[in-house]
Copies of this chain bind each other. A is one copy, B any other.
């Protein structure tokens, strides 16, 4: 566990926010899968920092350098590894954190666990920057799933309490999701951006919800109990920093429904067995049922905010105010959208490799 994920494939993620590099190693991938490097770079750009006014001013090109596992545009069966060198580091921004934990960050828990030896600069291994190598692995898996007719698309459902329209869980029209700002209703997107701008002006931040839709899946992926699709996706999605909630299909709404409302009736449509509704989010008993797989993920507001906060000194066990330096996103939700897709892609491709159908 820790920074390793997967049952058939094995993903290892390494690096700290200000270490020489971050990267990933992805073992267990079959040979002969094509790699579209242009498409991968385009996918990574959706997550890259410093692109607009809503994200951190830390500029990193985040171009991965592949070290192994790909030969002449195809996987060769050996572990795929890639690194991104950290060039734009400013470690001294973080020196005051050695004695004072930032609220909402892992600092204090890490201080106890690692006895002061953790890398505090930029959050170290806990930094959201580690989602870049996750997107390298996930971007590859997404390509390979697409070649099988499987589409993964995430969108923003809400930011700072402003809600977007939901897509139909039975037949989600993925093409309705905006390219620049991934919402369905442009007016909602505009209101969300306004919320982010306001939060930034107040030296504050806002959270949000990302929903994810997977279409084209066959039945039979996933396993009973702890190997169910929910467990597999949850383990990796909760590995994304700032995630505090995850629900599948109708999610928490099922708690207020009756069985006759919630059960998805089986019907014949286009000669195939389908369900009339999709409250299950495409997963029954942990196994895909060929309906769209849907889930929603709650992201907390960026904990790094510029306004003064209340903290303590480890050394003296006394309270002290804290003002955080550094460069931070007032809202990480827009950049989290491809990260959620990447996480889903990795979990799904691993399930495919395990499925032995």
Contact = CB atoms under 8 A, between A and B. Distances in A.
A77 interface: yes
A76 B3 contact: no
Contacts of A22: 67-68
A255 B210 CA distance: 10
Contacts of A357: 113
Contact of A67 (B4, B83, B243): B83
Interface in A235-258: 235-236, 238-239, 241, 243-258
Interface string A192-208: 00000001001011111
For the complex of A and B, 7 pairs with smallest distance between CB atoms: A106-B285, A1-B227, A78-B125, A245-B247, A31-B114, A234-B234, A205-B259
Contact of A266 (B14, B267, B289, B310): B310
A256 B160 contact: yes
A255 B209 contact: yes
Contact of A305 (B8, B263, B298): B263
A309 B263 contact: yes
Given A78-B224, A254-B299, 19 more contacts: A2-B226, A3-B224, A3-B225, A4-B27, A10-B12, A16-B68, A16-B71, A21-B67, A75-B117, A78-B119, A103-B265, A109-B222, A109-B284, A160-B258, A232-B235, A245-B252, A245-B255, A267-B319, A268-B312
A108 B317 CA distance: 47
Interface in A53-96: 65-69, 71, 74-81, 83
Interface residues of A, number: 155
B8 A8 contact: yes
Given A67-B21, A83-B67, A220-B113, A204 B258 contact: yes
B245 A104 contact: no
B31 A68 contact: no
A13 interface: yes
A25 interface: yes
Contacts of A245: 245-248, 251-252, 254-255
A215 interface: no
A30 B254 CA distance: 32
Interface stretch (A139-147, A179-187, A270-278): A270-278
